[in-house]
Structure 1
């Protein structure tokens, strides 16, 4: 299968490296410089301390436009989606969106493709440089249909080593489950500057963890509040030594995904006239850190 991957960040590089063994992959990057480096030097995948150089991946700058693909995977951050809409809005091939949050769903309604999927990525990935990515944590990619049938997505039936895909029946519940995890863990770790596990092991941080979850669960009207709470805790335990992506963004002076994550929850609180004191406070703290470049 010919697969196009839009986005040269950690997730884009990870997907390009993992899928290139089974498919013809073209990676579309924001800059010509990154595309040139990958075409010249290949893509380096680091796993368990070992590096592997992959040379079969073609890379192009987004300004060149997409080619003839059977599937296009969009891995850019949610706040970059508006910039690539002119490139993908008339595309007729299946599209798979891998963004955090829920706000990107509104973008999908503008697209002409008859088949649109959304997914959540539970792998850990760290971009070291323009053509090097480290697979820092094994997980799964869950995929649901926004429009069209999941039966057309052959990736769900493949057995890609250490890179599984699974089918989800309802995109809304799938995205909300991931949103709750991101909304509780990411802002708190970014502000407190701690690894994920500290949110549970430190009793004072755990009180903040509980208060934020309580407020978010009320805003989103979670149908299984206790199950959701235990799920967020389990993610903290499973990734106890990890530094969240939002904390890494703050540390490196990058724009965060706070608008895609807490921004959506705040808009829901306003729409439903729900209390949002804790969420709003954390949102302002992260935005303040972000505006100072860390």
Structure 2
């Protein structure tokens, strides 16, 4: 299968390297053209279980774009709209697209697509090594979950399933994209904003009783805003993820440290809108959102 990966962040590098490692024909689209020669000469460095693999022969920013069987979009949620504007020429009418983003704010942009479209969530702990463009480390083993979104077929799903080699990574298929994305959204909204605001690793939200109380307040508002009735099950899942990733730094905290835009609107903003539509007050979540907005603007101003 001939696959294009759009985005060279931690997820994009991991996906491109994993596909190439299992023998697929892979192209990688970079926004920063200055990095093109680095990738072409040095490849992608994938560090997993303390073993480094150098992945070569990934085509970078190819100009022949119409013969891709699949496109996997691995950018931040707020970049999806721009990707659709810039890369609609990639592939053809039947090219199958997969979008791997946090949150659910990006759905409004992809629901107008006419090509077969899938959405997914990444549960690996991935970190792009600081000061490098072509090196990614797997800090925590996990899974990628994918579900059909628009215009899909059993044949298209079977083609994607044949691509993801379970010996290289773990990819699971789900039928209900709403439940899949919402479950990940709950985790992201409980963990990412607070770790960014408090500059804390994930495990500290369990260890520090005051942080834990704040997370419980956010969780209660999130569940009510989404109209969920599985509080006990989901809270156990939040605790499990915090514990399993206790030494990890959330993606939102990483973005804040590196002065990158935060996925606030795709995660917290989306939930606030859902709650507002149902007439539900969310004072804790609104405060977290407002403080992170201010923190982000202050950081950008001083950088």
Check whether the contact 1:25–1:57 (CA below 8 A) recurs between aligned residues. yes
Q: Tell me if 1:293 matches 2:292.
A: no
Q: Which secondary structure does the structure 2 equivalent of 1:66 belong to?
A: coil
TM-score, normalised with respect to structure 1: 0.94
Count of aligned positions: 291
Q: Secondary structure at the match of 2:294?
A: helix
Aligned to 1:40: 41
1:149 to 153, 157, 160: 153
Q: Deviations over 1:202-251 (max 9, x none)?
A: 11111111111001100011131211111111100110111111111112
Seen in structure 2, the aligned counterparts of structure 1 residues 185 and 212 have a Cα distance that, compared at 3 Å, is same
Aligned to 1:10: 10
Q: CA RMSD in A?
A: 1.6
Tell me which of 194, 201, 206 is aligned to 2:207. Answer: 201
The CA deviation at 1:67 is: 4.1
Instruction: Quote the residue 2:97 is aligned against.
Output: 95
The CA distance in 1 between the partners of 2:170 and 2:275, in whole Å, is 35
Cα offsets for 1:25-71 (capped at 9, x unmatched): 0001112112221112211111233322111211117xx57342110
Counterpart CA distance in 2 for 1:9 and 1:223 is 35
Write the distance in 2 (CA, Å) between the matches of 1:10 and 1:42: 14
SS in 2 for 1:161: coil
Matched residue SS, 2:299:
coil
Q: What displacement does 1:265 show?
A: 0.7
Q: Which position in structure 1 is the counterpart of 2:110?
A: 108
Cα distance 1:134–1:108, how it changes in 2: closer, same or farther (>3 A)? same
- How has the CA–CA distance of structure 1 residues 42 and 16 changed in structure 2, closer, same or farther, with 3 Å as cutoff? same
1:140 aligns with 2:122: no
Task: In structure 1, list runs of 5 or more residues that go unmatched.
Answer: none
CA–CA distance in structure 2, aligned partners of residues 239 and 150 of structure 1 = 35
CA–CA separation in structure 1 for the residues paired with 2:112 and 2:194: 34
- How far did residue 275 of structure 1 move? 0.7
1:124 counterpart = 2:128: no
Within 5 Å, which residues of 2 pair with 1:195-274? 195-274=201-280
Aligned-pair distance for 1:178?
Answer: 0.3
| Residues 252 and 31 (structure 1), Cα distance of their counterparts in 2 relative to 1, 3 Å cut | closer
* SS of residue matched to 1:194: coil
**TM-score, normalised to structure 2's length?**
0.91
How many angstroms apart in 1 are the aligned matches of 2:42 and 2:20?
A: 15
In structure 1, the partner of 2:65 is 66
Q: Tell me, yes or no, if the aligned pair for 1:88 and 1:111 is still in contact at 8 Å.
A: no
CA distance in 2, matches of 1:3, 1:146: 19
**Greater mean alpha carbon deviation, residues 267-276 or residues 84-93:** 84-93
In 1, Cα distance between the equivalents of 2:46 and 2:154?
29
Alignment partners' CA distance in 1, 2:296 and 2:64: 32
Q: How does 1:174-185 map to 2 (within 5 A)?
A: 174-185=180-191
Distance, in Å, in 2 between the alignment partners of 1:236 and 1:6 is 29
Q: Would you say the 8 A contact 1:89–1:112 is kept in 2?
A: no
Gaps of 5+ in 2: none
